[in-house]
């Protein structure tokens, strides 16, 4: 049966997260952005709201609310601030996800309760200086020793991997060669603070300036045998599956950001008067707003369908790539038009559309560029 009605639980969730975003995040978002400051306080408050572990079963400290609820939460945070939405999205899809879906029972029991409560955060170590879209170009290596494994290499642009709350990072490394002579990839859970690991915060970012982004260096990091995530050689598969789910949260950030930019532009157009009337009464402005509203509605329907498919255990990967691509580009369109509607004021930091305009760009790049999404989609449709 086809239904577009959210459950009462999901309606309450949206209202609760929206109130939190407007009352707790909005008043400090601009200051945190200016100072490039990650907020432990806000992250713990988001943990208190149960915004981490939303798709994780209660047995490991999650709420088991599913992907539609999770995406609604990310959407509502992103409607106000992309940086805090990034903390939630990466904390769930990239931090919790690999451990929940691929970890051993002991690994789940060790890490998930604190991650799901928001007491700690986890990183996702895939990208390297020479391995972005080409994840197969990874140069980080791991070699077996008499007591376990020794990790060497580096990662870059890793969210939630260098702050006081970081407890662990999932790291993909080259662990040898397969029978077909291609690289073998294995993932490991690397605890924060382990000897040989250097985690450095990255600053000077255009966007997500109050989201924690790290560069990681591994210099003879010795790991025990049980640090392997899943089985040896499954790393590349695990990373791809993690990115499939991550696309849903990035799409939610695009949708929420677009909604926020649209609402700011609409309010400004209703208040700003030129030539004796509100500028929203001018057809050129009204049509911009109409196009924004139409694209946002289409984006929401696509994303929610992808999440419904995942919750139902049905194939969702193609639609996730489509939603990630489309929601990112809708945000780009909406943020650009919102700045245009604001005119010169849209270029000033005292107006939130300036921050939306900057934050948008990452969504066309992170977790698979728009170009990579088109490659993924084209393969699904048989090209």
Residue 73: partners with Cβ closer than 8 Å, 6 or more residues away = 13, 17, 51, 54, 88
Domains of the chain by range and CATH? Answer: 8-120 (1.10.540.10), 123-233 (2.40.110.10), 237-380 (1.20.140.10)
As annotated, the active-site residues are 367
pLDDT, one tens digit per residue, over 122-151 is 999 999 999 887 777 889 999 999 999 999
Q: Counting Cβ atoms within 10 Å, is residue 362 exposed (0-12), middle (13-18) or buried (19+)?
A: buried
For 247-295, write each residue's pLDDT tens digit: 999 999 999 999 999 999 999 999 999 999 999 999 999 999 999 999 9
> Tokens 């903390």 correspond to what residue?
87
197-215 average pLDDT score = 97
Q: Please state, rounded to an integer, the average pLDDT across all residues of the chain.
A: 96
Helix (H) or strand (E) holding 40: helix 40-48
Residue 309 burial by Cβ neighbours in a 10 Å radius (0-12, 13-18, 19+): middle
- pTM summary value: 0.95
> Rounded to an integer, what distance in angstroms lies between the CA atom of residue 196 and that of residue 187?
18
Strand partners, 214: 158, 201
Contacts of 233 (CB under 8 A, 6+ apart): 175, 178, 184, 185, 186
Burial class (CB in 10 A: 0-12, 13-18, 19+), 154: middle
Length of the chain as a residue count:
383
Taking the CA atoms of 352, 354, 359 and 364 in sequence, report the sign of the dihedral they define: positive
Q: And the tokens for 183?
A: 């690289």
- pLDDT tens-digit series, residues 95-106: 999 999 999 999
């Amino acid at each position: 049966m086809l239904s577009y009605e959210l459950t009462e639980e999901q309606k309450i969730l949206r209202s609760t997260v929206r109130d939190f975003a407007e009352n707790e995040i909005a008043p400090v978002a601009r200051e945190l952005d200016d100072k490039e400051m990650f907020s432990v306080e806000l992250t713990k408050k988001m943990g208190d709201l149960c915004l981490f572990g939303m798709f994780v079963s209660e047995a490991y400290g999650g709420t088991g609310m599913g992907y539609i609820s999770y995406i609604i939460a990310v959407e509502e945070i992103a409607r106000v601030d992309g940086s805090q939405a990034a903390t939630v999205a990466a904390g769930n899809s990239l931090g919790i996800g690999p451990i929940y879906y691929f970890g051993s029972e002991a690994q789940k029991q060790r890490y998930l309760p604190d991650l799901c409560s928001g007491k700690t955060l986890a990183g996702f170590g895939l990208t390297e200086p020479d391995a972005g879209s080409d994840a197969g170009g990874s140069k980080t290596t791991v070699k077996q020793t008499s007591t376990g494994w020794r990790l060497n290499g580096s990662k870059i642009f890793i969210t939630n991997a260098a702050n006081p709350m970081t407890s662990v990072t999932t790291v993909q490394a080259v662990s040898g060669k397969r029978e077909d002579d291609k690289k073998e990839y294995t993932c490991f859970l690397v605890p924060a603070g382990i000897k040989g690991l250097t985690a450095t915060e990255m600053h000077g970012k255009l966007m997500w300036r109050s989201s924690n982004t790290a560069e990681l260096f591994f210099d003879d990091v010795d790991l025990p045998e049980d640090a392997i995530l899943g089985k040896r050689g499954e790393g590349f598969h695990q990373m791809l599956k993690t990115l499939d789910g991550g696309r849903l949260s990035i799409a939610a950030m695009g949708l929420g950001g677009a909604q926020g930019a649209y609402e700011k532009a609409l309010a400004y157009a209703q208040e700003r008067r030129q030539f004796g009337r509100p500028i929203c009464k001018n057809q050129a402005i009204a049509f911009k707003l109409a196009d924004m509203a139409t694209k946002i509605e289409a984006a929401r329907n696509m994303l929610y369908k992808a999440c419904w498919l995942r919750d139902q255990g049905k194939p969702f990967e193609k639609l996730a790539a489509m939603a990630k691509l489309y929601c990112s580009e809708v945000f780009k369109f909406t943020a650009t038009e919102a700045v245009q509607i604001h005119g010169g004021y849209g270029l000033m930091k005292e107006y939130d559309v300036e921050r939306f305009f900057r934050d948008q760009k990452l969504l066309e790049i992170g977790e698979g560029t728009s170009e990579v999404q088109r490659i993924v989609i084209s393969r699904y449709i048989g090209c």
